[in-house]
Structure 1
């Protein structure tokens, strides 16, 4: 029997079949195993699963990717999709980030690489191309140095977390491209010196935290250009003196913490004292370290004699009664009318990602550094007189 030929579908039937195929739902990208996915906004959460590498089957539409608390060691180019806005990789075992890993993430706004204790160095172009990045977390790593152009091109960055590393030095113009940076956290490192142009370019900076370092010197122009800075923390360092010119470059300063430093209350204190006489900022106590020689006594005797008795000032400017433990002729405070002696409005607490400035009780000055200012170990009351003589004498 001859074969039976079936009639070809007519044009209207072909069109109908095509419409039916187009109406079928497309298969959604699968969620990686052991991860949780959400559709709005497209989110993949793979935290705390002991992953040793980034999952390969990430949906390309992913905007938020949470990979914290895993065991990831290496990041390579081509791992992440270009639609990412938020990428959390904190608390892993990262030791190597290959050049170009983040280059195509042009929409990325937040990158958290903090708490990776094996991350000791970064390539100069690690963050190249991240022009929309607003928040970069590099806290609690083992970084001892930073390439000079590591932050180049990060023109949208507002928050930079570098605390609790092992940084020894910050080269000039390291932050030159960060014109929009408002918060810079550098506490808990090993910095010893702030050079002349270390903060150049940070015209929008509001908070600068440098406490818990080993600072011994601050260049008189180190803070020049920081016209919007309102908070400066320098406590718990090794500062014996501080140039008054450096603080004079901070017209918007409101909160200053200088406690827990070995301040020298001899002639070296005069520039800082002169600035305190003019400024109206909320400051912590400034406590003298015991003098190492008779140099302070010699300097004090060169001051013009005066019979004025120095008493501590009440926060509202009224003279307070001398402390019970202090002799009535001992200098017990900076007599700054109207200026509280202790900083107000500090931070309290710190979450896992280091969002705040210092944990719990660490925000408070140590008990031995909160005693009467300018009184510890002074050789004679004449030293107090030095600080009252007009600066031009």
Structure 2
């Protein structure tokens, strides 16, 4: 009787051992790189702040989110990332070279962050080729002084483009012509001097355009001709002495405008801009005159008819075409389409997906205090008329807003994540417990 019972127990133990071993084997098929942390559903690999000088081997092929920020990676080569990757963070490394084709097969990639790579001075024209679903592209604080004219071609799904704090000297005509779904374009903190006629052509859905802290001296009369949906325009801290009111007429949806800290000359050349302020209601910063001497320190907006009595009347052109709908040409996604995007569903007709993607970074802590995701504006940049200005370009540690369901690893405090972590920890003990059970 005792022998039969022992035999049955051993058979049951062997069955349990086989089952647990099989489960353990399945779990170990997609192993995690050494010193990295992995989470499932979706498959996430976090290898931040480990002093890697190259992409670590062993990243599971089914990884969807790969975090490699705050390392010392020097270059990116083809075959480094799996085709299932949707989010790839590589900011704050030492990347100086990206092999053409590195991202060609990443057709599911939605967010790519290459920011804070100060030695990334050149990009191949085909660097971003093949990114059919890209929605957020970060190339801020690199060493870029120019961009290939075709670098953004066919990125029809792109909605957020971060190019701030490089050393860009100029922007070619039609550089952004394929970005028909772009809503946010950040170009502040560069060395741009001129905005040419077709520099923003094709940006029919653009909502926010940040060009402050550049060296802009000239804005072509037609530079904003396709920007009828822009609601926020920052041009403060440049070298503008005049700006045509006819140029501003294209900005039919403008709500917030900053033109302060420019050397405005308030003679007859300022009349058209003054008239634009009279007929267009917008929340604006001041425009302090530096010349002529009799108008010095006065605000251009509050000058009177008498100040321009000796000036010829403005004669704006009548043949302007504002807000032309060319977005649906060449089979591109345009005003009437709907994008399934990383931050939710974005309806067409120029709507801006919310929340801002800068909130997406709140879920992952960085061990490197010297590399904030974005810098907060300084006190002199604060503008009480637009309280969300800081959210456009910064991710203050004091801001806790997150996207629901977008936390990472230990930041997720949900019951499901606790169960998942408990389950993963128990897998480590499965072989030991099973063996003990078998020989009990």
Name the TM-score, length of structure 2 as normaliser: 0.64
Superposition deviation, residue 293 in structure 1: 11
Could you tell me how far apart the structure 1 residues matched to 2:100 and 2:246 are? 41
Q: CA deviation at 1:174?
A: 0.3
Q: How many residues align?
A: 296
In structure 2, distance between residues paired with 1:364 and 1:64: 35
- Residues 46-101 of structure 1, C-alpha deviations (whole Å, 9 max, x = no match): 00000000011110110000000000010000110000000000000010001000
Is 1:131 the equivalent of 2:151? no
Cα distance in structure 1, aligned partners of 2:119 and 2:86 = 25
1:175 equivalent in alignment to 2:172: no
Distance 2:253 2:30 in 1: 52
User: Quick one: distance in 2 between partners of 1:198 and 1:29?
Assistant: 46
Matches within 5 A, 1:225-244: 225-244=226-245
Q: Which has the higher contact order (CA 8 A, sep 6+)?
A: 2
In structure 1, the residue matched to 2:70 is 69
Q: Which residue of 2 aligns with 1:112?
A: 113
Corresponding position: 1:303 with 2:304: no
Which residue of structure 1 aligns with residue 39 of structure 2?
Answer: 38
List alignment gaps of at least 5 residues for structure 1.
1-16, 295-299, 306-348, 366-393
Work out which of the two has the higher radius of gyration on C-alpha atoms and give 1 or 2: 1
Q: Which residue of 2 aligns with 1:144?
A: 145
**Which residue of 2 is the match for residue 363 of structure 1?**
381
State the alpha-carbon separation in 2 of the partners of residues 301 and 268 from structure 1.
12
Change (3 A) 1:252 1:179: same
- Where has structure 1 moved over 6 Å in runs of 4 or more? none
TM-score (norm 1): 0.72
- Structure 1 residue matching 2:290: 3-state secondary structure: coil
Q: 1:362 to 1:163 in 2, by over 3 A?
A: farther
* Matched residue SS, 2:276: helix
Taking a change above 3 Å as real, the CA distance of residues 302 and 231 of structure 1, as seen in their structure-2 partners, is closer
Which residue number in structure 1 is paired with residue 91 of structure 2? 90
**Residue matched to 2:279:** 278
- The CA distance in 2 between the partners of 1:292 and 1:190, in whole Å, is 29
* Structure 2 unmatched ranges of 5 or more: 1-14, 296-305, 312-358, 362-370, 384-440
Note the C-alpha offset of 1:292. 7.7
Q: Give, in whole Å, the separation in 1 of the partners of 2:293 and 2:112.
A: 48
Change (3 A) 1:280 1:49: same
Q: Which position in structure 2 is the counterpart of 1:188?
A: 189
Sort the Cα spacing of 1:362 and 1:88 in 2 relative to 1 into closer, same or farther, 3 A. Answer: farther
Is residue 352 of structure 1 aligned with residue 350 of structure 2? no
Task: Give distance in 2, aligned partners of 1:103 and 1:359.
Answer: 36
Q: Which residue of 2 aligns with 1:24?
A: 22
Q: Give CA deviations for 1:285-325 in whole Å, capped at 9, x if unaligned.
A: 1101144899xxxxx898359xxxxxxxxxxxxxxxxxxxx
Question: Any idea what SS the aligned residue of 1:275 has?
Answer: helix
Q: Secondary structure at the match of 1:286?
A: coil
- Residue 160 of structure 2: aligned partner: 159
1:198-277 mapped onto 2 (5 Å cutoff) = 198-277=199-278
Give SS of 1:289's match.
strand
CA distance in 2, matches of 1:272, 1:302: 12
Separation in 2, partners of 1:141, 1:353 = 13
Structure with bigger helix share is: 2
For residues 28 and 271 of structure 1, what CA distance do their matches in structure 2 show? 68
Q: Considering only aligned residues, what root-mean-square deviation do their CA atoms show, in Å?
A: 2.5
Q: Could you give the per-residue CA deviations for residues 347-374 of structure 1, whole angstroms, max 9, x where no partner exists?
A: xx999223x7x52314238xxxxxxxxx
* Cα distance in 1 for residues equivalent to 2:206 and 2:267: 33
